[in-house]
Structure 1
Amino acid sequence: MKKTLVAVAVASIVLVGCGPDKEKAVAEVEKPYTLETDQQKLGYSLGLMLGERLKADVEELDVDALRRAVESVYSGDEPLLKPEEVEATMMAFQQAKMAEQQAEFAKISDGNLKKGQDYLAENAKKEGVVTTESGLQYEELTAGEGDSPKAEDTVKVHYRGSLIDGTDFDSSYSRGEPVSFPLNGVIPGWTEGLQLMKAGGKARLVLPADLAYGPGGMGDAIGPNETLVFEVELLEINPAE
């Protein structure tokens, strides 16, 4: 019969304390474990909370070693590891975990970069798409009139931003109001792309990662080295004084 972690822990305690009477101990342990007292419920609740937190960081854990360490603290027994050994063990674990996370991040970053390059190559073939020297891709959807903004100007726009798989990560349309900002205070692809537009115009901008948020990404919404797609409507230009 497969025992739960709680049953395994209890079995270890009972077997150590009962000496030769092991068969009786095993039979008692295999009975369903019940929580009858407040102390049992408290201990079990703390175990669940601790287990959930540990599992988030440690996929595989020697539960028996964990149990023995907790017992040594509550019983006052001499720990099996000195403080400096505990510190060295935890430091080694943290370094290994960090290296694992960095490797996973690099894998995601390289994958996003490759997908973006493939997307840009295909998009460049579409009629009406212009690829600038920087790698920005510009497609006019609605022609505007008048002058184009300069980098020092403030512009008012409506926009929708999405990943190349179509997932929207930001939209002024969904918020119900346009935004204004100095054109030289945003990501490079916007600074360049909006200077190709005229007031009243609408365009589709495809930004390679180095013209967007690069290898760092932006929070949970935009991963590392993501190619971004924006539909931008230039509503108003306010020249710098």
Structure 2
Amino acid sequence: MSTTAVPLRPIAKGSLTRLWIGVAIVALAAGGLAWAGQQGIALSPTAFLAQNEGADGVITTESGLQYKVLEEGTGPSPTTSDVALVGYKGTLLDGTVFDENAQAPMPIDGVVPGFSEGLQKMKKGGKYRLWIPPQLGYGDQAAGPIPAGSVLVFDVTLHDFKSRDEIMKMQQMMQQGATPPAN
């Protein structure tokens, strides 16, 4: 039985150095990707609001509500005794949509405190983005798809608003017009 020997070629000069440089580059790239992936980790509500406070155009009120005027409206602002017709999209910080409506009537004093405060800053036709901290939203209570302690993010358009008295008068007129006159 004979053994056939396969000749091995010698390693070219510098090949081993290039191999180790390649390994180092791959290790650095993996470390960089791991670091970048950790940057996507959700911030706590307090940390997010502190970071967001310094963002361009963001205004923080005394209560802690943060808002940004996307489009300024005209005229007066609603009060707590008004009912507003709004379009809105509510999301969590991770972008999960929990509620959305193109035209919803809302009593200003019948919504979470942060949403009420934001509406009172707006004017007809205005578009705002609101960041409502947990203490002005649902606090430590979960509400449907909204986890406890969540910052609520709303894009809101104030279409119109009327006082409750105006709405009551309109309802009475509609009811009177709907019934035939008595003979």
Which TM-score tier does this pair reach, normalised by the shorter chain?
A: 0.5 to 0.7
Measured after TM superposition, the shift of residue 138 of structure 1 is: 1.1
- The equivalent position to 1:184 in structure 2, one of 93, 100, 109, is 109
Segments ≥4 residues shifted beyond 6 Å: none
Please give the alpha-carbon distance, in whole angstroms, between the structure 2 residues aligned to 1:217 and 1:209: 11
Residue 87 of structure 2: aligned partner: 158
- Residue identity matched to 1:135: G
More helix by share: 1
Residue 205 of structure 1: aligned partner: 130
Consecutive unaligned residues of structure 1, counting only runs of 5 or more, are 1-111
The alignment status of 1:224 with 2:148, answered yes or no, reads: yes
Report the secondary structure of 2:157's partner residue: strand
Residues 16-42 of structure 1, C-alpha deviations (whole Å, 9 max, x = no match): xxxxxxxxxxxxxxxxxxxxxxxxxxx
- Residue identity matched to 1:183: I
Q: Percent identity?
A: 44
Please give the alpha-carbon distance, in whole angstroms, between the structure 2 residues aligned to 1:218 and 1:166: 17
Within a 5 Å distance, the mapping from 1:30-45 to structure 2 comes to none
Residues 201-221 of structure 1, C-alpha deviations (whole Å, 9 max, x = no match): 0000000001111111202x1
Please give the alpha-carbon distance, in whole angstroms, between the structure 2 residues aligned to 1:117 and 1:229: 14
- Residue identity matched to 2:129: R
Residues 131-170 of structure 1, C-alpha deviations (whole Å, 9 max, x = no match): 0000000100001000000011000000000001111111
Please give the alpha-carbon distance, in whole angstroms, between the structure 2 residues aligned to 1:130 and 1:166: 21
Measured after TM superposition, the shift of residue 240 of structure 1 is: 3.0
TM-score of the superposition, structure 2-length normalised? 0.65
Residue 4 of structure 1: aligned partner: none
Report the secondary structure of 1:192's partner residue: helix
- Residue identity matched to 2:123: K
Measured after TM superposition, the shift of residue 193 of structure 1 is: 0.6
Consecutive unaligned residues of structure 2, counting only runs of 5 or more, are 1-41, 166-183
Residues 71-112 of structure 1, C-alpha deviations (whole Å, 9 max, x = no match): xxxxxxxxxxxxxxxxxxxxxxxxxxxxxxxxxxxxxxxxx9
Within a 5 Å distance, the mapping from 1:47-58 to structure 2 comes to none
Bigger relative CO (Cα 8 Å, ≥ 6 apart): 2
Residue 60 of structure 2: aligned partner: 131
Please give the alpha-carbon distance, in whole angstroms, between the structure 2 residues aligned to 1:223 and 1:204: 20
Residue 120 of structure 1: aligned partner: 49
Please give the alpha-carbon distance, in whole angstroms, between the structure 2 residues aligned to 1:118 and 1:165: 14
Please give the alpha-carbon distance, in whole angstroms, between the structure 2 residues aligned to 1:200 and 1:240: 20
Please give the alpha-carbon distance, in whole angstroms, between the structure 1 residues aligned to 2:121 and 2:53: 17
Please give the alpha-carbon distance, in whole angstroms, between the structure 2 residues aligned to 1:185 and 1:212: 12
- The equivalent position to 2:69 in structure 1, one of 133, 136, 140, is 140
Report the secondary structure of 2:44's partner residue: helix
More strand by share: 2
The alignment status of 1:237 with 2:141, answered yes or no, reads: no
